[in-house]
Amino acid sequence: MSFILYPISSSNTYTMTRLKFLFCVFLSAWLLNACSSSTPEQTKIPPTEIKVVGESIAELTSPPLVPKPIGNREATKLIVNMEIVEKEGTMADGVKYLYWTFNGTVPGSFIRTRVGDEVEFHLKNHPNNKLPHNIDLHAVTGTGGGAASSFVAPGHEVTFSFKVLNPGLFVYHCATAPVAMHIANGMYGLILVEPEGGLPPVDKEYYIMQGDFYTKGKNGDPGLQPFDMQKAVDERPDYVVFNGRVGSLTGDNSLKAKVGETVRLFVGNGGPNMVSSFHVIGEIFDHVNVEGGGLVNHNVQTTLIPAGGASIVDFKCEVPGTFVIVDHSITRTFNKGSLGMLTVTGDENKQIYSGKQTEGIYQPEGSTIQNMPGEKVPDAPKATSHEERVALGKSVFAKTCQACHQENGQGIPNAFPPLAKSDFLNADVNRAIGVVLHGKTGEVMVNGAKFNGVMPAQVLSDEEIANVLTFVYSSWGNKKQEIKPAMVASQRAH
C-alpha cells in the first residue's frame, strides 16, 4: 500500500492538520481490517474436527423436566439409551388412549448435548410391543436423521452413532410408515445441542411439547379411543394438548417459579399437522430463539412453532400469579386441551401490576334505563307449562350459557364445569339458583373434577332464570325438576 503526499505550504497549518487526521483515520481502518481477518469466530475449530474427551451416559428426563445444563464441559462420547414402549394412558378424564412412546412418556425423554459430542444411540423396542419403529433426530446430519439406521423390531435393539454439528433445539420422532400415525400416537421429543460454553444461565428450565391427536370418538367420549387415520388425513384433531394429555400442566402439575426468577421454556411441536401459536398469558418473552436456532428475537408476545419445529423462550417472573400457557389458536385451548399453567409465588409489585383497584356499575345509558316516551320495557315471556318453560329456557341457554358449558352440557375440561349429570347442581337447587343470581368465584368440585374460575352474576329476570334452570335440570341426565320464578325471587331476596 502506498500513500501520495502533496507539497503543502508550512503556512497552511489547517490543511496540514486535516490531512494528518484523515491519514490517521485511514491507517486505523486498514489496521482494523487486517486484524479482523483472523477473528475468534474464524479461528474456532470446525465442529467436525472437535476432539472428544472420555465418555458418559446421557442424563435423560421425562417432561416437563430437563437435564442439568452442559456448561463448559468438553465434547465427549455421549451414550443415549432409549426404549420404545407401547402403553395405554389417559388422554382426558375418563378417556384412554394407546400411546406409542419413547421411554414411556409423551413427549419422549429430553436429550441434552453440546456441539462436537459424538452420540452413540441405543434404541430398544420392548418385546411386548406389536410394531417396528425407528427414530429420526432433526439434529442429525445423515440419511433420514438416523431413521435409515434405526429400524428395529419388537424385542430387538439397534445402535448407531452421529456427531452433533449445529447448536439449537431440535425435534426427534418416529419415521416408520405410516409416519403420521406414529407421530400422532405420541412418538416425538426434543434434543438440545448447546453451543460451546453452554447457554446463558437461568433459574428454572422446563420442557413442553404440543401434539395433535385423532380419535374415533369425539372430544370427551369416554373409554379407550383408537386412532382415526381419516381425521388425521383431514387434519381434524379431537385433542390438541401439551405433554400428551389434557391437564398435564395444570393444578398440582403446573410449572413452578418464584418472583424474580428467570424461566426458560424448551418448547416443541410434534404435530403431526397443527402449527402452534405459543403464548403465556400475562408474560412477554424477553428472548426467543426463533425455530430453535441462532436467530434471537426480543420482547415477543406469541411465537409460531411449526409442526416438527421448536423454540426456546426466556422471561423473568416479575409478579406473582397463575400464568396460563396456551396455543393462541384459542379454540384449541378451551375446546381441545392445549392449556397449561405456570404458578409464580412471591411478593406483589403494585408498580408493575396493581390488580383490581375499583369495581362499579357500568350503565352506558346513564343512571336509569332510557326509554322513548310512553315506551314500555318488554318483560320476558311467561311460561304456561313445564314444556314451554323448557323451550324458553333452551333459548336463554343458547344465548347466555352455551359458549362456556357447551351445547351438550359437557363443559370444557379444566375451564368450565359440566352441567350434564352434575352432582353439584343436583345436590342443591337453591345453591344453583344463587350461583346464577350472584355469580361464583373460587374452587368447586363437579363430578370428581376440580374447577377454579369465575362465573359472573347473570343479568336475567326471575322468569328467565327459572326457565334456563328448568331446561338444564330437564336435560342431560339431571333430575327432572321445574324451577318457578317465585323460587328465584326468594333467593334474590337473600
pLDDT of residue 413: 73
Per domain, the residue ranges of the chain are: 47-198, 205-345, 386-492
pLDDT in tens, 448-468: 988 887 888 888 999 999 999
Which ranges of 99-210 does DSSP label H, i.e. alpha helix? 147-150, 179-184
Region 274-290: mean pLDDT is 98
Q: Is pLDDT above 80 for 9?
A: no
What does the angle CA 297 – CA 42 – CA 2 come to, to the nearest 5 degrees? 115
Rounded Cα gap, residues 188 and 270, in angstroms: 6
pLDDT in tens, 387-422: 999 999 998 998 889 888 888 898 877 778 999 999
pLDDT of residue 486: 94
* DSSP, res 292: G
Binding-site residue positions: 133, 138, 173-174, 182, 187, 328
pLDDT of residue 168: 98
Q: Is pLDDT above 90 for 186?
A: yes
- Distances from the Cα of 364 to the Cαs of 70, 190, 361, 369, 377, in angstroms? 59, 52, 10, 9, 17
C-alpha cell at 274: 397443527
CATH number of 386-492: 1.10.760.10
What does the angle CA 463 – CA 469 – CA 473 come to, to the nearest 5 degrees? 145
Q: Is pLDDT above 50 for 371?
A: no
Rounded Cα gap, residues 252 and 140, in angstroms: 36
**Closest by alpha carbon to 328, among 405, 245, 267?**
267
pLDDT in tens, 290-315: 999 999 999 999 999 999 999 999 99
Whether 386-492 and 205-345 are alike in CATH topology: the answer is no
Q: Which residue has the cell 337447587?
A: 429
C-alpha cell at 323: 400464568
What are 119's strand-pairing partners? 78, 162
Determine how β-strand 309-316 pairs with β-strand 262-271: antiparallel
Percentage of residues in the chain having pLDDT higher than 70: 87
Topology annotation, domain 205-345 = Immunoglobulin-like (2.60.40)
Question: DSSP 3-state assignment of 446?
Answer: strand
- Helix count (H) and strand count (E) of the chain? 12, 23
Q: Is pLDDT above 80 for 333?
A: yes
pLDDT of residue 37: 42
pLDDT band at 362 (very low <50, low <70, confident <90, very high): low
From the number of C-beta atoms within 10 Å of its C-beta (0-12, 13-18, 19+), residue 160 rates as middle
Pick the CATH number of 47-198 from 3.30.1360.120, 2.60.40.420, 3.40.50.1000, 2.60.40.10: 2.60.40.420
Lowest mean pLDDT among 101-115, 255-269, 397-411: 397-411
337: left (phi over 0), alpha (psi -120 to 50) or beta: left
pLDDT in tens, 195-239: 999 999 999 999 999 999 999 999 989 999 999 999 999 999 999
Lowest mean pLDDT among 103-107, 210-214, 250-254: 250-254
pLDDT of residue 204: 98
Q: Which residue has the cell 435423560?
A: 60
Binding-site residue positions for Cu cation: 133, 138, 173-174, 182, 187, 328
pLDDT in tens, 72-87: 999 999 999 999 999 9
pLDDT of residue 364: 64
Lowest mean pLDDT among 48-52, 347-351, 372-376: 372-376
Average pLDDT value over all residues in the chain: 89
Q: Is pLDDT above 70 for 40?
A: no
From the number of C-beta atoms within 10 Å of its C-beta (0-12, 13-18, 19+), residue 482 rates as middle
Q: Is pLDDT above 70 for 35?
A: no
